[in-house]
A and B are shown apart, each in its own frame.
Chain A
Amino acid sequence: MKSVCFYFNIHQPFRLNRYRFFDIGNNHYYFDDFSNDEIITRLAENSYIPMMDTLLEMIKASEGKFRCAISISGTAIEQFQQYVPEVMDRLRQLAATGRVEFLSGTYSHSLASLEDVEEFMREVKSHDDLIEREFNLKTGTFANTELIYDDDIANVIASMGFKSCLTVGAKHVLGWKSPNYVYKSISAPDLKLLLNNDKLSTDIAENFNRQDWDEYPLTADKYMDWIAALPEGEKVVNLFLSMDVFGSFLPASTGIFHFLKALPRFAEERGIEFAMPSEVVAHTEAVDFLSVPYPISDVDEARDVSAWKGNELQNEALDKLYSVAERVALCDDRRLKKDWQYLQSSDHFYYMSTKNMADGASHASFSPYDSPFAAFTNYMNVLADFLVRVQEQYPESIDNEELNSLLLTIRNQASEINSLKKELKSLRTNIAEAEKEPALPVPAPESTPEKKLRGCKSTETINDEQPKKRPGRKPAVNKEPDENRPKKKPGRKPKAKTV
């Protein structure tokens, strides 16, 4: 029996405001809220909402036989939360059906996998944490930003415990091989690879409404006939599609939603089932190794990463950005860390592509900028301000290792203080209890509950008592962002001494 795996990809970046060089150092807000709101709201209306309703309907009508996977970036989820929460409701409904698998990926749709392994792992972790928090689902299959993949990335993903990964069936990698099998990575043999079927996904995404296409019009039974007619051994058809194609590039009037809704019936007639990637991977053995020495992606004719790393501008911007990866990871400023994520979105680098003379025509049409040079200038201005902020946290004169050890000392100190605190607390309660016997509750019970409160609230309330101030700091290390300040100051002092 053949299986069809649909993957719907959702991503929106936080587009940048026009940010002039005289804003550097003066204005630390970088994002164009108006256009981000406008774009995601429009797409939600035309595309995400009707599409998710269609998927829900398909799952219901087919009594759960229709399944699919969704790959969604953290930045997209944040924008939904902020601007169109009704999309979040639908995503939760989809998650609750148990027929939709959420893929793992990078939080900000970033290029970290090509630039900085550590940061890549952090990106994946924050993405997966978010998915778990929002949808109560664990991710099993990995799909990188625009399906970027090579043997090195395979190693990293495998080391993170992933058993399967979706990537592109790039012709120059596959050669005569078919994408309709499960493969395994040559560098990490435990990692199974699912490959997008380029032709069949393009037929939907690009050709569906092309009236000069010789197969126009595409109908659900014809499409399923094609899949049924694939050679006997080819068991899996992976279709990776951007969700905003449905309803916006292919407006509802093209009949695209009806096409989708008709698919399960014709699939059943031909004995084709729908599957989630984890099911495919569980039931299918890999037929062969796949070696991908150079990164491949889902974008442009060449299926390489030149759309983001194809010119000097892009490489310069990426180098500058990732030069502070470690520092940002060390710091605890919540806004800085958010901006860091948003600035990593691959879209910013895509806008800088100078391929717009040839097959990069699509680069220009998606870009909010006049030219790649304007995109670069704006991004670099923002980055300049961002770098200043990072530097303010940790001066450049201290190198990362030294900084690391200092921070470690501080954190150890904090935990030491905390353990001492506990000790003190237990001693106090002991004393209180000891005192309890003769004279009843007066001082002791007052102090214990307050201390607990302090643990999760803030230090502001009680500033007079010295010992009480400290327990406030410790939890700040883990969670609360606003509490960072008092913790950092002690961090700087020892540095000053060492310099």
Chain B
Amino acid sequence: MNKRLEHALNCEVQDQVPFLPAIYEHKAWFVGATPSQVARNADLLTSAVLAEYERVQSDALIVGIDVYNVEAEAIGCSVNYYDGNDNSVPAIGSKGAVFQGTEGVASLRMPDPQKDGRMPLNLDAARNIVKLLGKEIPIRGAVSGPFSLAAHLAGPGAFFLLTMTQPDLAKELLKFASEVIKQYGKAFIELGCGVIVFDSHASPDLLSPQMYHELVLPPTQEIIRYFRGLGLQDVPLIIGGNTTRILNAYLETGANNILCDTKADVKEFLEKCSKARRAFRRNIDSSDFLEVNSDEVFHRALNSLEESGRYPGFILGSAVLPYGTPLSHLTAMREAIREYKKRASSV
């Protein structure tokens, strides 16, 4: 088993900085398919993750393409898929919401991870990948965070408004969402897989720190406690945007590793995460990865490493990579890690 990531998660010195680029829809590109095709076929998804492992050589793998949709779809939200060569990312449509405030949470059906929507498909792929690579590299099943799932169930705009107009109902929906996530995550864990929780709808770019604390933190803590209770040590929590303003609450979630997105203040993450002995993944800006050359990617990665690479809990990552990102960009990030290691050891 690759121990590099494990050492970083324990904030222990490792041989080199771990590498975790955010590859979801881009997985499909490795097998010459579209995100819509791979998201609906367990064998293709398995092949895509295996191809990613071979070509990217990152330090953990994630099972999932459209990571925010799976639970919501299993509850009844409709997802738009794309035909032919259209490489758009499957997404819940504007009329996809299933939660109607008037009927309350009782109208929602608790999905069965073994039967409903694409949960079984993702679990099948996870089973295949764990069987083939489980002894070599950590495998994580993608699950939604409670706020993001609730936002999909009600429709994002309606749910944000609900938090103001009917906060108790919003809390009820968050509680329901948490139960769904716990059951889906448990199914991954039973396969010998880890989980990774995505909750970017709760980003402070949209939600106030106070609301995060009141509404999102309690169910998030509960989910993470639950996964930990099932024996899982590593529970990453991904929230994009400038999370500096909620960093204390982010650490209070209990997630053992968190995200320092491009917009967040890395100095504050370094200070607070080292005090809390918590690992974090720092994203380099990859929004223009389809436009820039690999030298630019190398320099961005090296700058980030020079800024934070001495912290043993530091992990180098990227924001979500667009479909079709040149492989040379990922190679450049890996090369930057090697270059940084060479420079650091010669000092």
> A and B: partners?
no
- Which positions in B face A, CB cutoff 8 Å? none
Interface residues of A (CB under 8 A from B): none
